[in-house]
A and B are shown apart, each in its own frame.
Chain A
Amino acid sequence: MSREEAGARLRDAAARARSGRPEAFREIVDETHATVFRVAVAITADRDEAADVVQETYVRAWERLGELRDGAASLGWLCRIARNVAHDRRRSWWSRVRAPLGDAALSVASPPGAAADEALAAAESALAVRRALAALPEKHRAVLALREVEGMAYEEIALALGVPVGTVESRLHRARTALARRLGRSLDGEGER
C-alpha cells in the first residue's frame, strides 16, 4: 500500500471514528500500533514499558480524537502522543524505581546458518552493541534504534519523532559517533585531521 493510500484509509477511518464509531478507531489501531510500539521501544528501551505506553497512547487518542485535524496524519499524531506518554511515565515516581534497561529488552538473534561458536560470539557482540545503544541519551538512542533496529527510512523517523529530516541525519551522525566511542573505548585512539 502506498503512503497516499494509507493516508486516505486513515483519513476515512478517523472521520468515522470521530463520529463515535469504535470499529473505525479499531482500524486506526490495527494500522498504526506496530509503528507506535517501535517508537515507544526506541524511546524507552524497554519492551514491557513500551507496550504500556502504546496502550495509554490509544486511551488518550480516543479521548482526544476531536483534536485530530487531518486523519491522514494520524500516525504522526499518535507518535506525538506516544512520546508524551513515555515522557510523562518516566517522570512518574513509579517509573523511576523500575529497572529501566533489562537485558530482556535487548534480546538479539543469531544470524541463520552460523556455526555454534560463531553464533555465540555474534550474539555476545550484538548484546554488547545493544547495551551500548541503550546507554545513549534518548534523542540519540531513539533515532539510531528506529534506523538500525526498526529499519525505518529517514522520512518515517522524522514523522515518528516530530523533527525535520535534516535533524534525523545530524542526530544519526552524532549517535553513531557516540556509539562507536562507547564500543571502542578499549582501543587505542588515533588523531584526526
Chain B
Amino acid sequence: MSCRDARRLLGARLDGRLAAGEGAALEAHLAGCPACRRERARWEASAGALRAAGPTPVPPALAERAFRAAMAGAPARDGGFVGAARRVALAGALAAAAVWLAALATGAAPRRPASGDAAQDPIEVAVLLWTAGGERDAE
C-alpha cells in the first residue's frame, strides 16, 4: 500500500467509512511507516479539536430576522443596491473631506465657503452625500 492510499483510508476511518478489510491493511501499512503514523496523529488531533466544540450555535432569532427581511424585501446589512449607494456616498464624502483637508494644510482652501453656498463646503457636501445615501435606505 502506498502512503497516498493509506491516507485516503485514514480519512475514511475518521469519517466511519472504512470498508471491511481495509482497516487491517491500513494498520499493516502504519506499523511500518513513521510518516503516516505522524500524519495519523495530526489528523486525529485536528479532528478531535474541531469536533470538540460541536456545531456552530445558530444565532437566536435568526429565522425570524431572515423571514422578516424577506417579507420586507430588504437586503442584509451592507448588501445590495442600497448598501452600494450608501458606500458610494461615503466614499465621495471621504474623498471630498480629504481634498479639503489637504487644501487647508497648504493654505489654499478658505476657512469658510466664500459664497456662502453650502454645496461648496466639502464637509457639508460630505454630509449631504451621506444623508442622501441614508435616505435611499428608507425607500
Q: How many chain A residues touch B (Cβ–Cβ < 8 Å)? A: 66
- Contacts of B50 on A, CB cut-off 8 Å? 126, 129-130, 133, 144-145, 148-149
B58 touches A184 (CB 8 A): no
- Contacts of B14 on A, CB cut-off 8 Å? 176
Find A169's partner among B10, B11, B76 (CB 8 Å cutoff). Answer: B11
Q: A169-B11, A190-B35 are in contact. Are A52 and B51 (CB under 8 A)?
A: no
| Smallest CB gap from A193: residue in B | B3
Interface size band for B: 35 or more
Interface residues of B (CB under 8 A from A): 2-3, 7-8, 10-11, 14-15, 17, 33-36, 38-39, 42-43, 45-47, 49-56, 58-59, 62-63, 65-67, 69-71, 73-80, 83-84, 87, 91
17 A-B residue pairings within 8 Å (CB atoms)? A33-B62, A41-B56, A51-B65, A52-B76, A56-B80, A58-B69, A59-B70, A62-B70, A92-B79, A92-B84, A130-B50, A147-B15, A148-B50, A151-B55, A154-B15, A177-B7, A192-B35
Interface residues of A (CB under 8 A from B): 22, 25-26, 29-30, 33-34, 37-38, 41, 47, 51-59, 61-63, 85, 88-89, 92-95, 107-111, 122, 125-126, 128-130, 132-133, 144-145, 147-151, 154, 169, 172-173, 176-177, 179-180, 183-184, 187, 189-193
